[in-house]
Amino acid sequence: MPKTRTVAVLAGSLRRESYSRKLARALEKLAPESLEFEHISIGKLPHYNEDMEASGELPEQWVKFRNKVKEADAVLFVTPEYNRSIPGVLKNALDVGSRPYGQSAWQGKPGAVVSVSPGAIGAFGANHHLRQALTFLDVPTMQQPEAYIGGAAELFDEEGNLGNESTAAFLSEFMKSFEGWIEANEG
């Protein structure tokens, strides 16, 4: 039986009925049993401010967030696209987790990115902006398969369940690939 690995899940949208959150839950259901998921909230993280870091008076939310990321074996990012990039709340989470310098919570964590949008191009811009940041943060990010999920408004039923069979089949394969990626890149 494969080793159980914990995956930290960061959904880039704060909206209660966000497609990112719905998709994150769907990915969890479609994943191999060897993956356990911890959804980490990023909405209440105080904005990163280096002065707070230097003073040693760190917000409790920063400390808890960093510890949760460090405890995870891998990270799954599910993001919408805002103005051809990632939401500010997700960028702030990346910054908070990357400090203090030399002690990044992200370093070496295998990762995967799924972008989601009601539009046709599936948040392509956000997906690639996030990948660019993850490269610098030393997050080995799964390259294939890529996941740009468009038409999100039509994918979920009233309870938030994924109702599109071909999307579910693709995402099931994506999560199997992610399982292999984690195994190949665990530190």
Give the CA distances from residue 123 to residues 18, 162, 173, in Å, rounded to whole numbers and listed in that order: 14, 18, 20
Structure pTM? 0.96
**Which superfamily is assigned to 5-185 in CATH?**
Flavodoxin domain (3.40.50.360)
Among candidate residues 121, 36, 54, 32, the one with its CA nearest the CA of residue 81: 121
Question: Which pLDDT value is given to residue 159?
Answer: 87
Phi, psi values for residue 23, rounded to 5°: -65, -40
pLDDT tens per residue across span 54-100: 998 899 999 999 999 999 999 999 999 999 999 999 999 999 999 99
- Split at pLDDT 50, 70, 90, the class of 1 is low
The reply to whether omega before 100 is within 30° of 0 (cis) is: yes
pLDDT tens per residue across span 23-50: 999 999 999 999 999 999 999 999 999 9
pLDDT tens per residue across span 136-165: 999 999 999 999 999 999 999 988 899 989
Q: Is the pLDDT of residue 185 over 80?
A: yes
User: How is the chain split into domains, by residue range?
Assistant: 5-185
Element (H, E) at 169: helix 165-185
Q: Regarding predicted confidence, which is higher, 157 or 104?
A: 104
